[in-house]
Chains A and B, each alone.
Chain A
Amino acid sequence: MYLTLLSVDWFLLIEKAVLIAIIISVSLLVAMYETWGERKVAAFMQDRRGPNRAGPGGLFQPLADGLKLFMKEEIIPNSSNRFLFVLGPGLAMLTAMMTSAVVPWSSHFNLFGREISLQIADINIGILYIFGVVSMGVYGIMIGGWASNNKFSLLAAIRGASQIISYELAMGISIIALLMITGSLSLKDIVEQQQRGHYYILLQPLGFLIFLICAFAECNRTPFDLSEAENELNFGYHQEYSSMKLGFYLFAEYVNMFISSAVMATLYWGGYDIPFVNDAAFGQAHGQNLLATLQVVSLFVKIVIFIFFFMWVRWTIPRFRYDQLMRLGWKILIPLAIFNMLVTGFLVLLKQNHWHF
């Protein structure tokens, strides 16, 4: 038994390690430039210029921000619980990055005589894995808020956590409707089905809408950023944090945005499929490597559109009140999602029965 364990495919191991490194650095880079994009979009919406000092068009602004955060003094409050205080932001960042493991970024490259798939792990419970990791993400907020030993932080953390677990329900139910159609939990299978047929946004418009709203809530973005409501709670769960620990919390939010855009694009908008092009035929005509590159580009274009949408909403819609937020989640979204699930189940059964009752 041990012999089989030792004879692992070392190339596979190296390949996956390189892939993980690439994906993590790309997510961090995207998150960095999301902060820049966020300011530019905000400036555009408010008729300002936005960052324009550092580099052309303010492109070096995120670097300067990062440097500033690293240079700042690290303060750990006396009354806080030191270990948990440091653990909080680390957990937030970790869970934000872990989700990217099951997203298929493209089909495969043919390099060095090997077929290299651009997905870290194609497990057969892909979507459930994402849910599991997201539900772990609550702890980053809660531990951070509690360990600061500050009433405002604690209140904000509890708000954030209860919001996340409430919206997880509606999100899960809206996903169930999609899964009834796909019949598979693996994200790769879902993308391949969409390549052959049509995008699932056409079959599940309501499900997508619910998923989108819940994704906003999960990322703690406006209009759901009640855990950071300055006028009520000072600064939110990261009030006591300084230096790069604060940076980690803020950064985790942007990484979350990136990953949830990727998941939405994958589930409902065809993932790495290039729109209006027959991918398989294109791959045979121009080679698999070019196709895979273009597919990555296509997925990233979709992701950037979603990220822009996130920002657009943030600077357009004001924040909810907390009871409104809970009412929206429990009394509107969950019944809607259940209704969507029932209708989908009905139609799927009817189709299996060849449209006869």
Chain B
Amino acid sequence: MALVGAILVVISKNPVHSVLWLIVVFMAISGHYILLNAQFLAIVNLIVYAGAIMVLFLFVFMLMNLNADTEPQKNKWLKIAGVVAGGSLLLVFVAALKNADMKNQLAVMNKGEIGLIHNLGMALFQDYVVPFEISSVLFLSAMVGVVVIGKKD
């Protein structure tokens, strides 16, 4: 379902349809999280990505009133370059994942307690406090940047 949704995101002519398919993709990914017993991640993924960010995307697209026929035709060479770049990225991914150690990963998953909110909080605030704080400072600076840009007008 995630794959079908993702393909439809790319091939939809209408940008609003693309966004809606992207929401379907996020829902499918949340489903995967639940299957991995990571309920907290699943719900947060839904709230943040599908619930907030996609709504903003939808705002922009709906207000811009893009249509399939107003879309400018792209250069042929640009298309070919895109295909080559995407293909090499796929190649790199496949090469990297081919030798990945799957058995250990499965062993970790079988315990099935990692994603529950209690353990997640413990991990975040005991083992990974410094990275967590640094990333929150990063978000804060992004917010300040937005306010500064918005003030200019």
Binding site for B on A (CB under 8 A): 84, 123-125, 128-129, 131-132, 135-136, 138-139, 142-143, 146, 154, 157-158, 161-162, 165, 168, 185
CB contact list, B92-138 vs A, under 8 A: 116-118
Query: With A125-B39, A136-B50 in contact, is A142–B58 under 8 Å at CB?
Result: yes
Pick from A125, A135, A157: contact of B40, CB below 8 A: A125
Q: In chain B, what residue has the closest Cβ to A172?
A: B47
List, in ascending order, chain B residues with CB within 8 A of A142's CB: 55, 58, 62
Cβ of B63 and Cβ of A158 under 8 Å apart?
yes
| Residue ID in chain B nearest A138 by CB atoms | B55
Asked whether B59 is an interface residue with its Cβ less than 8 Å from the other chain, the reply is yes
Q: List 23 A-B contacts (CB under 8 A).
A: A124-B116, A125-B39, A125-B43, A128-B43, A128-B44, A131-B51, A132-B47, A135-B47, A135-B52, A136-B50, A136-B51, A138-B51, A138-B55, A139-B23, A143-B20, A146-B16, A157-B62, A158-B59, A161-B55, A162-B59, A165-B52, A168-B51, A185-B117
Query: Cβ of B55 and Cβ of A128 under 8 Å apart?
Result: no
Which of chain B's residues has its CB closest to A137's CB? B51
Per-residue 0/1 for B42-68: is the Cβ within 8 Å of any A Cβ (1 yes, 0 no)? 011011001110010011001100000
Task: Compute how far the CA of A185 lies from the CA of B44 in the bound complex, rounded to whole angstroms.
Answer: 13
Q: How far is the CB of A169 from chain B (nearest CB, A)?
A: 9
- Min Cβ gap A218→B in Å is 12
- Residues of chain B contacted by A125 (CB below 8 angstroms): 39-40, 43, 117
Taking CB atoms and an 8 Å cut-off, the chain B residues in 8-45 that contact chain A are: 16, 20, 23, 39-40, 43-44
Residues of B within 8 A of A123 (CB): 39
Inter-chain pairs besides A125-B39, A125-B43, A142-B58, 4 sampled, C-beta below 8 Å: A132-B46, A132-B51, A135-B47, A139-B23
For B40, the chain A residues whose CB sits under 8 A away are 125, 128
Residue of A nearest to B63 (CB): A158
Decide: A135 and B39 in contact? CB cutoff 8 A. no
Smallest CB–CB gap between A356 and chain B, Å? Answer: 23
Q: Which residues of chain B are near A168, meaning CB under 8 Å?
A: 51
- Could you say which residues of chain A place their CB within 8 Å of the CB of B118? 124
Overall SS of chain A's interface: helix
**How far in angstroms is the closest Cβ of chain A from B121?**
11
Q: Which residue of chain B has its CB nearest to the CB of A185?
A: B117
Q: How far is the CA of A131 from the CA of B50 in the complex (A)?
A: 12
B20 CB contacts on chain A under 8 angstroms: 84, 143
Contacts of A146 in B (CB 8 A): 16, 58, 62
| Contact residues in A for B47 (Cβ distance below 8 Å) | 128, 131-132, 135
- Cβ contact within 8 Å between A165 and B55: yes
- Contact between A124 and B39, CB atoms less than 8 A apart: yes
Q: Give min CB distance, A238 to chain B, whole Å.
A: 17
Q: How far is the CA of A123 from the CA of B117 in the complex (A)?
A: 11
A87, closest chain B residue (CB): B20
Bound-state CA distance A154–B59 (Å) is 10
Q: How far is the CA of A276 from the CA of B72 in the complex (A)?
A: 70
A132-B39 contact in complex given A146-B16, A146-B62, C-beta closer than 8 Å: no
- Residues of A contacting B51 in the complex (Cβ-Cβ under 8 angstroms): 131-132, 135-136, 138, 165, 168
Least distance between B66 CB and chain A CB atoms (Å): 12
- Complex CA distance for A135 and B45, rounded to whole angstroms: 11
Q: In the assembled complex, how far is the CB of residue A326 from the closest CB belonging to chain B, in whole angstroms? A: 14
Query: A136 contacts B59, CB within 8 Å?
Result: no
Per the bound structure, the CA–CA distance linking A158 and B59 in Å amounts to: 7
The 6 closest A-B pairs by CB, nearest first: A135-B51, A132-B46, A128-B43, A132-B43, A132-B47, A125-B39
Q: What residues on A are CB-neighbors of B117 within 8 Å?
A: 124-125, 185
Nearest chain A residue, comparing its CB with the CB of B40: A125
Distance in Å from the Cβ of B24 to the closest Cβ of chain A? Answer: 11
Assembled-state Cα–Cα distance A92/B63 (Å): 22
Using known A-B contacts A125-B39, A128-B47, determine if residue A154 contacts B62 with beta carbons closer than 8 Å: yes
Chain A residues with CB under 8 A of B116: 124
Instruction: Enumerate chain B residues within 8 angstroms of A158, measured Cβ to Cβ.
Output: 59, 62-63
Which residues of chain B have C-beta atoms less than 8 A from A84's C-beta?
Answer: 20
Cβ 8 A contact of A129, one of B43, B55, B58, B63: B43
Which residues from A are CB-within-8-Å of B58?
A: 142, 146, 161
Question: Is the pair B16, A161 in contact by a Cβ cutoff of 8 Å?
Answer: no
B23 — which chain A residues lie within 8 A by C-beta?
139
In angstroms, Cα B121 to Cα A335, docked, is 25
Report Cα–Cα, A98/B105, bound state, in Å: 34
Q: Are A136 and B16 in contact (CB-based, < 8 A)? A: no
Residues of B within 8 A of A154 (CB): 62
Shortest CB-to-CB span from B25 to chain A, Å, is: 14
